[in-house]
A and B are shown apart, each in its own frame.
Chain A
Amino acid sequence: MIAPLLAIRNLTVQFRVDSGWVTAVDDVSLDVVAGDCVGIVGESGSGKSVTALSILQLHERATTRMPSGSILYQGQDLLRAPGSTMRRIRGSEIAMIFQDPMSSLNPVLTIADQVSETLRQHQGLTGVAARKRVVELLGLVRIPDAARRADDYPHRLSGGMRQRVMIAMAIACKPRLLIADEPTTALDVTIQAQILELLRDLRKELSMSVMLISHDLGVIAEFAQRVIVMYAGRVVEDAPMAQLFRRPVHPYTMGLIAAVPKLDSDASRLTTIPGRIPAPQEVIPGCRFSPRCALVEDGCLHEQPSMQMVSDHQSARCPPRILALGEHHG
């Protein structure tokens, strides 16, 4: 088996609050194989963004700790890598774009200035060469009138354009992995589609792996080859896209799929999952989804479920369901 490009193993991330430490990500493991497109889906508070930020060590050091786990990239554990290594990797080998492009761009610096920073840092490009490359990149992300736009300040661009700029900054050094944290959430639906299409095309052109994070299953479905479902800080299902939709194992996944409104259904009400995601400090004995689960059994309330393989490529954190499915299929 080929070694994955990025391997997150048993990652736990905790944040400091007034009363102590609270666990936001609990024992999360996932792989990204080179060339893959992985989608991480979950509600807000599921820990998906926290996981993503951990890869590039972008958390606030004073209030965050990662007591266990490792993030392996090219044989190195990023969690224990020295600052200089991380700086080398950030932006040039692993890049990240964020949800809100307005606040993620510095309002007092021009677009050209901000995009060329990456070029200067990792490729040593300055002056005319950098400027040329910047305009090239802006064209690559399909910003019209790129040469002029380069000298604008962020506030003069629309939301969609700013996100394109973010993407341009991210792909400037041809990274091997692009992490996209809710890249379309802050954008209009039509722009969403354009951005996703852009990401798809860039992925092919640059042979890049992408980790797409979203709370919108529809966005993930359009884009990812493999889906990882997270709930309350844990991974609850990990499956190839088609399999996930054809045969979702975890009740939460089933709920998510059912919650997507379908234009061709006759239903008069939208399906929802009752209840709400637990706060990170809440201690729930047993499975963390059990309070909301429609298929809950006695055992679920007492024992913490573990991830189990369902088939070669699919795994889920719901032993009762896996058992039931296994019996069903003989």
Chain B
Amino acid sequence: MPDPDGRSEEVALIRIVAVKFLQAVPVILIISILAFLLLSLLPGDPAIIIAGEQASPAAIEQVRKQLGLDRSFFEQLAIWLFNLAQGNFGSSLILNQSVLSAVAERLPVTLSLAALSISFTIPVGVLLGSVAAYFRRSWIDSLVMTVALLGVSIPAFWIAILGVILFSVRLGWVPSSGFAPISQGVGPWFASLALPALILSLFQIGFLARMTRSAMLDVLGQDYVRTARAKGLSEWRTVGKHALRNALILIITATGILLSAAIGGSVIIEQVFALPGIGRMVVQAILARDYPLVQGTMLILGFTFVMINLIVDILYTLADPRVRHD
């Protein structure tokens, strides 16, 4: 394949990225429709459920009008999509604000939690997995894998409560609940998030360590690692440069999954630690039957995850030169 100026590879890259962007569009559309359909899953009349069974017929009618439930199915869908295109994700019944602003208010909390936990998960998980793969079949391997196994088997919310009892109640190292925004100082901010982030990490470290181990084992068995050794490169160089660069690809994929999982896991963690984040808001909205809020939030989260997956996908393409020629 003679390639006089090497530019065709850049062009191919841009084209692949553009295609991926386009492929995300129908996905976003489907998510929007699914979120819309969420309300129709409710058994019975949504208006009654939302208004409450005790409500008067007038109140129910008001709710029905307010939510546009008196229109036909396709009209509702059209209105829904139209609103979305304008950035209107609906309004919360209870919080008295738009879904978008409700989410925006709570975003810093959830984001801090997710970021903190991931910044711990990735180095620890990758390190553990690599060490386990390098020393495979040894006691180190067994130990690491056992720890990882425990990480994915123990329920997060349970360990969280135990953690609170130990570290907050008994030892008093960290506050047992509540969130201190950075404006109050990095110390309190970190203290309020340390334990939740740690617990959130546990499951993810287990998952990442196992994935990394798999990927590294695969890579370490490859011929090019043998070539590197045959060239006289030190073990550090061989493993660090050759093996890890290749396992990196799989790790990038895992990170995307981790990010989504961190936000999902925050639902439970925020509940246990009473952190005013998005996850906690969703749960409380569900319990309070604030369905528009649930719908809107699910949608925003859905868009976020699609974006995350898209970015991961693009990074993957950048990291692996082989993919560009498809």
In the complex, A touching B (Cβ < 8 A):
yes
Binding site for B on A (CB under 8 A): 56, 58, 62, 83, 86-92, 95-96, 98, 100, 103-109, 117-118, 121-122, 148, 151, 153, 155-156, 166, 169
- 14 extra A-B contacts, CB within 8 A, seeds A108-B246, A108-B322, A151-B6: A56-B230, A62-B137, A90-B229, A91-B232, A98-B226, A103-B224, A104-B226, A106-B245, A107-B322, A108-B245, A108-B319, A118-B232, A121-B234, A155-B321
Cβ contact within 8 Å between A169 and B320: no
Cβ contact within 8 Å between B232 and A87: yes
Could you say which residues of chain B place their CB within 8 Å of the CB of A56?
Answer: 229-230
Instruction: Give the complex CA separation of A130 and B49 in angstroms.
Output: 74
Cβ contact within 8 Å between B321 and A108: yes
Is B170 among interface residues, defined by CB-CB distance under 8 A? no
Could you say which residues of chain A place their CB within 8 Å of the CB of B289?
Answer: none
Contact residue among B224, B231, B321 (Cβ-Cβ distance under 8 Å from A118): B231
Is B222 among interface residues, defined by CB-CB distance under 8 A? yes
Given contacts A91-B232, A121-B233, contact A104 B325 (CB under 8 A): no
Contact residue among A62, A95, A109, A156 (Cβ-Cβ distance under 8 Å from B1): A156
Could you say which residues of chain A place their CB within 8 Å of the CB of B232?
Answer: 86-92, 118, 121-122
A-B complex: 3 closest residue pairs judged by Cβ atoms? A91-B232, A90-B232, A91-B231
> Interface size of B by Cβ–Cβ distance < 8 Å?
30
Cβ contact within 8 Å between B224 and A104: yes
Cβ contact within 8 Å between B223 and A103: yes
Could you say which residues of chain A place their CB within 8 Å of the CB of B223?
Answer: 98, 100, 103-104
Instruction: Give the complex CA separation of A307 and B229 in angstroms.
Output: 34
Instruction: Give the complex CA separation of A36 and B183 in angstroms.
Output: 76
Question: Which residues in chain B, 224-251, are within 8 Å of chain A measured between CB atoms?
Answer: 224, 226-235, 237, 241-242, 245-246, 249
Which partner residue on chain B sits nearest A148 by CB separation?
B6
Instruction: Give the complex CA separation of A179 and B276 in angstroms.
Output: 66
Could you say which residues of chain B place their CB within 8 Å of the CB of A95?
Answer: 230-231
Is B136 among interface residues, defined by CB-CB distance under 8 A? yes
Could you say which residues of chain B place their CB within 8 Å of the CB of A104?
Answer: 223-224, 226-227
Contact residue among A96, A106, A166 (Cβ-Cβ distance under 8 Å from B242): A106
